[in-house]
Structure 1
């Protein structure tokens, strides 16, 4: 014999109920001997609870009851449910009159949902020509008197089940109510949460079934709840021990008591999908499977009780008193965590018992409050528990660190004696995000990194295209899924939690919406997006003011915008303090040298204790091209400048390059990387624009390039033989003193054969002088300008961040 169990979602009107009937019909046609256990159909149990609450609170409930009745009757016009509806109405009327009800009354109400279900299924099978018998399990499962969570009397129940199936079996399919039983006085009891699974398990055990098949709305047991974690994968096989751990820690498909009767008889349990009968589901047997993390499970509807008291340290019997007080009040404890330095005990209990638990504990420890041995008994009721089944403490640091990086701080931590299962208590509103963070970290599935890109001009637009083009290869190579969920300019934002695609320009134009910064962080929080990175490709001072808020909201930062590192030193320090506080990173390699690994190299040297004594170089790719060409060819300066403008090497207004302000900012950034306390006004800058052209309109300046020719020709001709002109930034002086540096930005003449003099095209070059290397500098040279290069450098920072966060 096989026992089949169908859950409430499987039995819903329409496709669900049709699928259940078809499965049973196929089993009968295949001459399989089966017994069927069913839950209440659809959301019947929840609906009956709502009506009961309305009745007890003297609220109008008849419309709700009529809706419930109509739904249940819609499945089959033939079945007679008069008795069940009459019972319910009578109870609801009594509850409303009294303004109260007991757990005994509630069990009687909820039982009607199961009774309606078996009558409906049996009637539909009879219409198909199948001999079906609606079976009330109150005749079979005998329990104690604990209403709401009754425990079966195994010996009596087995006797009733065996005798019943001897009398009602053969070619008859017994359709049995799950969840309900009766005590010795034949009063209705229920078996607690997910009790229908327990009923099915008991039947399978008593009848020595070949297999228990549990039909649900999913394909089996997954590495996490697929409703919460999109990347969850089905587990094909589990051992009873592993399944029992998952059940104890909240896996909703299983009941914590379901496994034991099956384990005793070594009866396999298969989790199947009512709506996908061709899938083989998850098979649970006595065979042990490969060690390792199996799944994430969740305990919800729980509360955290904290008991704190310095005076209890070392006192014998405190734990016994605590658990005795809870036991007397029939309150179960699922997780215990205990501290020692300042005596503290954390307990996870059912949410519905929280108030009762606090009252019981305050009564038990009343004298300890007076003696101040106990300081506080408190309850936190908006918590959830995530259990990592199969997680060893040896590697627990990885998911734990990932949570902290995503600003999820566990309230309590617990592991089993074997050290192979770890449980974390977190705030309930963080559950969805926490599950995705942990799942992505431990199951070798691509970790999702969610990007918000601000600014989509030349560099920003190129970066977006690069990410979209490379995302698939990066996921294959690095198991990192880069997901652009936001693209924003100063006016509009385009949002898509599943990722913005290649038509982002038209989408932003058509669907972009006006926004405030909080709209983006709220969107990320609403959709539980993890591993957030904000990318600033603007040149906006105003946007830089958002950095602190972004860090506080959980974003790492990547920026090609130099302003944040060059405005006043107070902001510079405040930003870094905020990054440290929230455990966030800020990468800005492209601030100096576009895509060259300059800042990383300087940081590495400086943090390793190497004494950097000077940094000099050509910082601007635009000015590099201009003076490389002007020095090498017999051409007027105006011609070279116009050519650089036409090729897009300079800004649309070349004064932004020729003023030296950009080089000054880059030089200041390097100074601050060496922990020097300089401000922008400390940089001595040679402005290459004649005074008379500095304030004129851009259009007029663009027509006045010829006015620059004479002065630059004179400077060129006045050089020593074999020398060339280079516009350099120079950081020197006593760089070991935070106030001892000198910063110069100026046009200089250098030997043609020197590294600076040999520079070609639009390359940048940096000479780093250190004590260890002496007169031989470390030289970093390469493309110093261009949207492709800069965007690729920003992309590199994003990938570096994903490595940092692994």
Structure 2
């Protein structure tokens, strides 16, 4: 005989029931079949909701009861031919009348006992099974309805349900010796207690029902049909890259189900283990797929970790105090209290100093457990030998599960390292002596991040996912998005990096997508986004709480740079071409560096100095390797270099500046570039990277612009004064031309002193032939005293700046 079970999602509509019937008929061609059915999808929740409403004297339970009645009667009308409906409609209405009577009693007494809750919650399975049994009869199949309440016997102890296996197995064996049919239809979940009162096997108990029948009848395999393709490496609703497992052992399945894998009800394995009966988890909607086979551990299984799971409906209880140390029997008393109150302990950890014990219990049992423990240790608490129990909320347990974990060294190290790198704090740790399960308690808000991090670590092709939130999508930002799209496949194949953009913002709109923004249509999507708000943008990044999150700032906004501290303090890395933060007060600069270190985030700003050139990276490598910087000479403004390479005193100077603006070489306010402030900020950043504690006002600036033009507040006034000052610019140019020299805006750092200003350099100087918008930096060091280390290349433009930001993102990915 074959035993099958179909869950509520498989029975959510008459169309799905017809699909189930086809699967059952395929099994019938090979062998007699017993099928356990759950309630129609969502019915059990409705039954319990109606009971709660009735207990609160809320008459709206009647409306919900009427809706459920219509649903079941409609199923009869769609599944059963009209001429055969009379009998089954009578049976359904009889059960519904019994249910209505129970609710009326609850309503009148204003009381809902646990016994009544058990009784009403089982009506869904009874109704679905009698309807489906009649449906199979009308298909011409020799089928028989089996009332599992007459066969499965439970012992109700302190409101917990335990099966009387001996009596249950005798009942089942006797029934099948006395009855003969091709197909047996059995309602899942329901049972009776030893006094004959209807009861249930607990939520998810239909799996258990199938296992009890399978165990009693000693079948070879029990098939559990659900709406997924088996047991997964992790919850696919939380971890998109999770995939179904082909086979797992009984012990692995037990660990996964106890720790939150909802595909299988935890007690299901108990009746099958001793008899070595396999279980197969299959998909109702893809019945030809293999699903997951649960059996004895296979020697062919080479996985170190089988699955990752979690429990989020828990609370931590902590008891501590010097009165616990060295006191024999303290733990015995502690756990005895929990046993007497029938409270299940999910996780235990105790400090080796014996100063504290930490346990995890179900949410709804935490307060009850605290009160019981505090009462039991009232004397010790009164004399301050121990402290009252404290409850820690908003926590969850995550667990690695696998039979072969004990054979592989360093797994727990990899687990905790991966979590630590994403700043996921571990509150408690537990590992069984079998080493089949490594569990950790973390904040509930970090569960999604933790599961995805661990799945990436243990199950996916070695790769790293980077999750970007980008503000500023103008020249630089749009180029960056284009580069990200173009290199997507290359990054995955060659660097094992998966880069996804989850947030975009400009000054007007912002857009978010937890699954990743389509980079082919981001502009249109952003236009239809919500109103831009810096605080809401930050809040959204935190709410998503994705691993390896990176905030990318492509603006020149002081308001946005002020948020860097918040991002770093929440373990979100920051990549920016915005120089304001790093050129702000030294105190702020230092705080940003410290926050990045403290919270395990990266703070990268390579493009602050030389767009796409690796200037800061080169400097950091020199310093880190023990070299000492003696002098830096540099042309650090691509825009100024373009301006003075282009200006020949034939066209007015302001025309050259306009051309630089149009080409995207300058800031929207070109005064920022021409005033030398931009270069001063850059050399300040280099000075700080060298270890100097300097402020922007410490940078000496030799202005070539008039004070009046520097004092303008808009571009029109600025350009008007540039036209007025044209003779001065021509004089500067001709003076350099007469000496056969080139004009360059130079920054120099030496002996802790920094100067920026316009200079003319001769043909022997490395700066002389610097063309277009190129930048150049000369590093004079103890290792390079005469011939400097030179970094040279394009130092301005949206494309190269975007590539510099891209390079910083990749640096984080390779970290």
Do both share a fold (TM > 0.5)? yes
Residue-by-residue CA offset, 1:174-203 (whole Å, 9 max, x unaligned): 111222323332223322342221221121
Q: Conserved in 1, the CA contact under 8 Å of 2:229 and 2:292?
A: yes
Q: Conserved in 1, the CA contact under 8 Å of 2:69 and 2:96?
A: yes
- Seen in structure 2, the aligned counterparts of structure 1 residues 203 and 525 have a Cα distance that, compared at 3 Å, is farther
Q: Secondary structure at the match of 1:311?
A: helix
Structure 1 residues 666-681: aligned runs within 5 Å: 666-681=682-697
- Seen in structure 2, the aligned counterparts of structure 1 residues 641 and 176 have a Cα distance that, compared at 3 Å, is closer
Q: Conserved in 1, the CA contact under 8 Å of 2:399 and 2:440?
A: yes
Partners of 1:233 and 1:415 lie apart in 2 by: 25
Residue-by-residue CA offset, 1:468-523 (whole Å, 9 max, x unaligned): 22223222333332222222112221333333334546415640331322322343
1:716 match: 736
Decide which of 109, 114, 122 is 1:103's aligned counterpart.
114
Partners of 1:102 and 1:648 lie apart in 2 by: 74
Quick check: 1:699 aligned with 2:698? no
Ranges of 4+ aligned residues in structure 1 off by more than 6 Å: 633-637, 639-643
Residues 456-465 or 425-434, more deviating = 425-434
Deviation, 1:264, is 1.8
Partners of 2:615 and 2:514 lie apart in 1 by: 34
1:413 match: 429
Deviation, 1:213, is 0.5
Quick check: 1:244 aligned with 2:254? yes
- Seen in structure 2, the aligned counterparts of structure 1 residues 134 and 379 have a Cα distance that, compared at 3 Å, is farther
Decide which of 109, 128, 133 is 1:122's aligned counterpart.
133
Task: Work out the number of aligned pairs and report it.
Answer: 791
Q: Tell me how large the CA RMSD over aligned residues is.
A: 2.7
Deviation, 1:577, is 3.6
Q: Conserved in 2, the CA contact under 8 Å of 1:494 and 1:507?
A: no
Partners of 1:513 and 1:64 lie apart in 2 by: 38
2:307 match: 295
- Seen in structure 2, the aligned counterparts of structure 1 residues 336 and 651 have a Cα distance that, compared at 3 Å, is closer
Deviation, 1:221, is 0.9
Partners of 1:148 and 1:743 lie apart in 2 by: 78
Partners of 1:641 and 1:518 lie apart in 2 by: 36
Q: Conserved in 1, the CA contact under 8 Å of 2:664 and 2:798?
A: no
2:533 match: 516
Decide which of 360, 374, 377 is 2:389's aligned counterpart.
377
Partners of 1:198 and 1:643 lie apart in 2 by: 77
Partners of 1:325 and 1:645 lie apart in 2 by: 77
Partners of 2:306 and 2:15 lie apart in 1 by: 32
- Seen in structure 2, the aligned counterparts of structure 1 residues 568 and 521 have a Cα distance that, compared at 3 Å, is closer
Partners of 1:640 and 1:356 lie apart in 2 by: 78
- Seen in structure 2, the aligned counterparts of structure 1 residues 641 and 333 have a Cα distance that, compared at 3 Å, is closer
Q: Conserved in 2, the CA contact under 8 Å of 1:104 and 1:147?
A: no
Q: Conserved in 2, the CA contact under 8 Å of 1:399 and 1:437?
A: no
Quick check: 1:728 aligned with 2:746? yes
Deviation, 1:380, is 3.2
Structure 1 residues 344-355: aligned runs within 5 Å: 344-355=356-367
- Seen in structure 2, the aligned counterparts of structure 1 residues 163 and 466 have a Cα distance that, compared at 3 Å, is same
Deviation, 1:682, is 0.9
2:23 match: 23
**TM-score in terms of structure 1 length:** 0.92
Quick check: 1:62 aligned with 2:62? yes
Structure 1 residues 331-350: aligned runs within 5 Å: 331-341=343-353, 343-350=355-362
Q: Secondary structure at the match of 1:776?
A: coil
Quick check: 1:197 aligned with 2:207? yes
Decide which of 242, 253, 261 is 2:271's aligned counterpart.
261
Partners of 1:645 and 1:65 lie apart in 2 by: 71
1:82 match: 93
2:802 match: 791
**TM-score in terms of structure 2 length:** 0.91
1:144 match: 155
Decide which of 616, 619, 622 is 1:599's aligned counterpart.
616
Quick check: 1:277 aligned with 2:297? no
Q: Conserved in 1, the CA contact under 8 Å of 2:571 and 2:599?
A: yes
2:498 match: 481
Q: Conserved in 2, the CA contact under 8 Å of 1:492 and 1:508?
A: no
Q: Which runs of 5+ in 2 are unaligned?
A: 78-84
Deviation, 1:336, is 0.7
Residues 702-711 or 211-220, more deviating = 702-711
Deviation, 1:792, is 0.3
Residue-by-residue CA offset, 1:619-650 (whole Å, 9 max, x unaligned): 122333455567xx897894876775665544
2:5 match: 5
Q: Secondary structure at the match of 1:613?
A: strand
1:738 match: none
Q: Which runs of 5+ in 1 are unaligned?
A: 734-740
Q: Conserved in 2, the CA contact under 8 Å of 1:313 and 1:340?
A: no
Partners of 1:435 and 1:272 lie apart in 2 by: 24
Deviation, 1:691, is 4.6
Decide which of 498, 521, 526 is 2:515's aligned counterpart.
498
Partners of 1:564 and 1:17 lie apart in 2 by: 63
- Seen in structure 2, the aligned counterparts of structure 1 residues 757 and 420 have a Cα distance that, compared at 3 Å, is farther
Quick check: 1:458 aligned with 2:475? yes
2:81 match: none
1:737 match: none
2:123 match: 112
Partners of 1:359 and 1:90 lie apart in 2 by: 37
Deviation, 1:266, is 2.0
Q: Conserved in 1, the CA contact under 8 Å of 2:469 and 2:503?
A: yes
Q: Conserved in 2, the CA contact under 8 Å of 1:690 and 1:708?
A: no
Decide which of 176, 179, 200 is 1:168's aligned counterpart.
179
